[in-house]
Amino acid sequence: MSDHAASRLLRAGRFSCPGQVYLVTTNTRYRVPIFQDLTLGRLLVHELRRAEEQALVTSLAWVIMPDHLHWLFELKSGTLHKLLQQIKARSAIAINRQRLNGEAVWQSGYHDKALRSEDDLLKFARYTINNPVRAGLVRRVADYSLWDAVWI
């Protein structure tokens, strides 16, 4: 199945709602571990923070893994599609400027989960920021550089 076809399947039934909390995961193209380079990861952090400054989201927790992003946030305005399109486009431009190339950075599409009001936000935040520990990259999340959570 092509990248584009798989992306279309992920969109089926998707609904964006301001005020809704989402957990979004998106991968780099071909799962290339470009965020092993901390400088490139910081460029993505800048775009996550810019989305918050623009009042598009309230970030609750995020972690940038070598080849993907997990982001827990409350959508404040706009749609998931536009938000992820903006984050991916702006970060890809900055990353490619740094790498001096024009290669695709992101895989098309993303996976999202809309959390219900009874879902435990703290449980999802812990899941999000614990990814580097589960992946064996570090022994403690405090030893990993590319994460944040509002509860810390």
121-130 pLDDT tens trace: 999 999 999 9
Whole-angstrom Cα distance, residue 62 to residue 51? 13
H or E, element range at 62: strand 57-65
pLDDT in tens, 41-82: 999 999 999 999 999 999 999 999 999 999 999 999 999 999
Residue 65, exposed/middle/buried by CB under 10 A (0-12, 13-18, 19+)? buried
Q: Is the pLDDT at 14 greater than 80, yes or no?
A: no
Q: Is the pLDDT at 8 greater than 50, yes or no?
A: no
- 83 lies in which domain range? 3-149
Whole-angstrom Cα distance, residue 29 to residue 151? 31
Domain count, the chain: 1
Residue 136: CA count within 13 A, CB half-sphere = 0
pLDDT in tens, 24-44: 999 999 999 999 999 999 999
Length of the chain: 152
The CATH number covering residue 91 comes to: 3.30.70.1290
H or E, element range at 11: helix 3-11
Residue 144: CA count within 13 A, CB half-sphere = 26
H or E, element range at 43: helix 38-53
Contact 48, 107 (CB under 8 A): no
pTM over 0.85: yes
**What confidence tier does 151 reach under pLDDT thresholds 50, 70, 90?**
confident
